[in-house]
A and B are shown apart, each in its own frame.
Chain A
């Protein structure tokens, strides 16, 4: 069984981004970039399935700049077998990414596509669902548990607003990872060295026949309204007094 894992290069989750002075976009000069944390969980899940003997090949894919090779190498060090990079320096929207992934799914014919549920830059939470629409595959989004049940089916437990929902999906299927699906491992040094020799092929959206022209224009970015600094109260009595007589919320 073959798994395709799609990953995104994003600003590291520890970086606090700020708008550029001209407010046209956020300032990403000289900031640390990493694999999107949800994508890393997706890679880990694929590696665990391979370790259980349920999967024999993991293909990791990214669509983005040349530097996304770094994140693909990280995924290879974590246990993916080979990598594909669709190179573009242009702004990418979820639909454009899903269209590229659709072409790659047609070529690679994976039994399972694993992705993060959202990227922590755009916070869109769209690409997996869009790829599911374009391929016609069933989708198990926001997954906190994934079991391959052997009869060409997967059981996915999803984190939903009221609790948990379980779905049975017939493969091929798209599964997007939530935080509690697993805890990703760290790549070992020997595996990082080995990953440098694993195959990494590149193409472009043009070669895939996909138009990635944006549909949505970013007009400006700004900081959210800041909260006025509050006060520290000395004790419970003062807190209760403030809540009753100043804020009037209880």
Chain B
């Protein structure tokens, strides 16, 4: 078997989620080849060449791939995928945007968000917002998969020596063009790979409420998250949303502040190792998944916790 992984990166740095996909590939078993498609992204290929277990890194370095538009990337990946038994990518917004388009070009039924590898053709994946886990078996010749990063440990990043091969194939079109993007700039760790996540909900009351939470976040060296209610209310931007349709996180410590715990939110954080819930409503569903629950006024409790650190 041979496995192709689509690396996730921003042209300068590799996203850690790619290493989780490498672990998933190792669980499947077989030769591992990674595709780095982007613009001025040779450094990312170098980083990946040092990951043990990767045999070869393919580098498609061309301005047409700089924003990872699915319209350009999908035909490239479909072309390279020939001869591979599996094609994997992290189940990020980039992977979710790209992989079904690749699968349809190959006439394969993709499998989204795998959380466990049972055998090379059989996988577990969450359905119904994570309320049910399905075990599915693919009969397709090429298994096109996206990988739930929190379900697989990150592969070791140093010690390997893969060869790097240039790919000259260029796929371009003008029906989809990049206009711009607003990316959150933060000194904090990335939400999906942080060791500690502090998340606020509707109970924070306002953007100012989140400013108070930020002090605790920074003292803990944590990433900040939010419930959908807090994002919809405009307290914080969408990239902080944790849940079924936001980010899936599984840190060592998740502190939910003023979050009631709708199943869609729980779907995004219930695999955290330790969960702390702070809420004034003792009946809030979040307490059913919390290891430690603290009932009270978050505007008093959060500064009190911060003072004790």
Contact = CB atoms under 8 A, between A and B. Distances in A.
B304 A215 contact: no
A222 B130 CA distance: 11
A240 B47 CA distance: 39
Interface size class, chain B: 35 or more
B1 interface: no
Interface string B124-144: 001111111111111110000
B239 A121 contact: no
A123 to B, nearest CB: 5
Contacts of B289: 227, 230
A164 B18 CA distance: 21
Interface string A162-204: 1111111110010000111000000000000000000000000
A55 interface: no
A237 to B, nearest CB: 7
Interface residue SS majority, chain A: mixed
A166 B108 CA distance: 29
B60 interface: no
A237 B96 contact: no
A21 interface: no
A95 B109 contact: yes
Given A130-B104, A223-B133, A166 B97 contact: no
Given A95-B108, A123-B113, A215-B140, A239 B292 contact: yes
A165 B253 CA distance: 30
Given A121-B127, A173-B175, A221-B134, A215 B108 contact: yes
Contact of A167 (B126, B177, B237, B245): B177
B168 interface: no
Given A121-B127, A161-B93, A217-B139, A247 B291 contact: yes
A141 interface: yes
A38 B309 CA distance: 42
B287 A26 contact: no
Given A125-B100, A129-B70, A166 B111 contact: no
A126 B70 CA distance: 13
A122 B131 CA distance: 11
Name the residue among A117, A166, A236, A237 with the largest chain B CB count within 10 angstroms: A236
Interface string B289-309: 111111100000100110011
B308 A249 contact: no
Nearest to B140: A215
A188 to B, nearest CB: 25
Contacts of B93: 142, 158-161
Contacts, number: 250
Contacts of A130: 100-101, 103-104, 110
Contacts of B275: 227, 230
A32 interface: no
A62 interface: no
A16 B262 CA distance: 12
Interface residues of A, number: 79
B276 interface: yes
Contact of B138 (A127, A162, A215, A221): A215
Contacts of A162: 181, 183-184, 239
B239 A239 contact: no
B133 A126 contact: no
B264 to A, nearest CB: 8
B187 interface: no
B151 to A, nearest CB: 11
B139 A236 contact: no
A57 interface: no
A141 B70 CA distance: 10
A146 to B, nearest CB: 13
B281 to A, nearest CB: 12
Interface of A: 11, 16-19, 26, 93-95, 98, 117-118, 120-134, 137-142, 144, 155, 158-170, 173, 178-180, 214-224, 227, 229-233, 235-237, 239-240, 242-243, 247, 249-250
15 contacts: A16-B263, A17-B128, A126-B103, A130-B100, A132-B71, A168-B176, A170-B174, A216-B111, A217-B138, A222-B133, A227-B291, A233-B293, A243-B292, A247-B291, A249-B274
Given A129-B70, A230-B287, A243-B253, 9 more contacts: A132-B104, A133-B102, A163-B237, A163-B238, A164-B181, A179-B228, A227-B270, A231-B292, A233-B293
User: Which 5 residue pairs across A and B have the least CB separation, nearest first?
Assistant: A138-B176, A133-B104, A126-B100, A129-B100, A130-B104
